[in-house]
Amino acid sequence: MAQLFFRYSAMNSGKSLELLKVAHNYEEQGKRVWLFTPSIDDRYGVGKITTRLGLQREAMPTEKLFNINELLMKERPYCILIDEGQFLTKDEVMCLTVLVDEYDIPVIVYGLKNDFRNNLFEGSQYLLIYADKIEEIKTVCWYCNRKAIMNLRIDENGNGVYEGKQIEIGGNDRYRPVCRKHYYSPIKNKEGDIYKE
């Protein structure tokens, strides 16, 4: 019986790498997978899943989930993998539940749980409600060895940012995975740049 999985973590935990590993494992057995990613994350081009290690795969934009019947007429996947699940809309999450419940196709979604203000993203909120299994991918704080549970947005001077629009696409240049302590007090060196202890 298929299930909807939500695998979440703070930034920089290897979520995209894990997704590509799962895709490889299915494909090595000759099993077709569909990869999706929201169009809003266009750092490396629309429809691309890219890891910090430089691995990259083509993916369909999540907007295509609304044409799922048309897609299924062409081929049927063994599994559907979605990157950056925090950017899904409620309607897209509901499409995923249909794929699991009506078509018996497993769906695994990777993404952030909370934003830089520690509020849930829309996609994360509905994945937490509707997912059959919720799994944490652990990573460590940028500044210490505690578990990172938050995402710290930083400005060009290395200062923590706690106000602003929810979605601002970026990588290590804009965000740090942090523990609760260092979310509120990031560490700086003499030049003012944030550094690791």
Active site residues: 84
Rounded Cα distance between 39 and 48, Å, is: 9
**Integer CA distances (angstroms), 40 to 30, 63, 104, 171, 180, in order:** 31, 11, 28, 14, 28
**DSSP labels, 83-139:** SSGGG--HHHHHHHHHHHHTT---EEEEEESB-TTS-B-HHHHHHHHH-SEEEEPP-
**DSSP labels, 18-82:** HHHHHHHHHHHTT--EEEEE-TT--TT-TTEEE-TTS-EEE-EEGGGGGGHHHHHHH---SEEEE
Question: What angle, 0 to 180 degrees and rounded to 10, lies between the N-to-C axes of helices 90-101 and 122-130?
Answer: 30
**177 and 141 in contact (C-beta within 8 Å)?**
yes
